[in-house]
């Protein structure tokens, strides 16, 4: 098996559960931005020592973004084949982010002034990840408006994730790390 298939040489890409679309279609553009967000979070994670709870939390976020990408990479006709939490974003995933944001705010407080990224390397990496997630969110909105999906939790998830990364960056600037995430609120 080879890494290259030559199927994309015509400017198309394969979708999850089948079908092909142009590589610059709104779905591939959105999940491409999500892929960049995964890599940006990986840059932040590389700054965190193994065994630190933040390392595990960032890895969890990367894996959740794979769920987002799977949903974005699925043609509307195949959305019924998606599986909650594996290939479709759930309300619980959004609620878990909200609980995590609340925890960071509780421990670190809300910023009281405009912040310029770069106080330390980890904070800067988290801010880059946040900005990348915001781009993915904007492209997901474009994809939704073009009929790419309906009744999805992708946009709220990306919105909360960007907020969470913002707060993690602020906490990183104060050298605070989150505790293990609690159960999703019911």
What digits encode the pLDDT tens for the residues 95-115? Answer: 999 999 999 999 988 877 667
Domains along the sequence of the chain with CATH? 20-173 (1.20.1200.10)
pTM for this entry: 0.89
45-61: string of b/e by CB count within 10 Å (b at 16+)?
Answer: bebbeeeeebbbbbeeb
pLDDT digits (tens, 9 = 90+) for 58-78: 999 999 999 999 999 999 999
Query: How buried is 119 (Cβ within 10 angstroms: 0-12 exposed, 13-18 middle, 19+ buried)?
Result: middle
Residue 185 has pLDDT above 60, yes or no: no
| pLDDT confidence band for 154 (50 / 70 / 90) | very high
């Amino acid at each position: 098996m080879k890494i290259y298939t030559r199927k994309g040489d015509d400017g198309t890409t394969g979708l999850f559960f089948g079908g092909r679309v142009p590589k610059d279609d709104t779905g591939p553009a959105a999940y491409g931005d999500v892929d960049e967000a995964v890599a940006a979070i990986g840059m932040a994670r590389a700054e965190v020592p193994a065994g630190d709870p933040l390392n595990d939390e960032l890895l969890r976020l990367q894996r959740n973004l794979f769920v987002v990408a799977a949903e974005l990479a699925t043609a509307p006709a195949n959305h019924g084949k998606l599986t909650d939490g594996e290939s479709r974003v759930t309300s619980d995933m959004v609620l878990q982010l909200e609980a995590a944001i609340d925890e960071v705010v509780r421990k670190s407080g809300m910023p009281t002034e405009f912040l310029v990224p770069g106080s330390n390397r980890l904070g800067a990496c988290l801010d880059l990840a946040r900005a990348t997630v915001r781009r993915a969110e904007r492209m997901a909105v474009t994809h939704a408006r073009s009929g790419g999906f309906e009744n999805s939790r992708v946009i709220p998830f990306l919105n909360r994730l960007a907020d969470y990364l913002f707060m993690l960056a602020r906490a990183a600037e104060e050298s605070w790390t989150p505790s293990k995430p609690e159960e999703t609120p019911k």
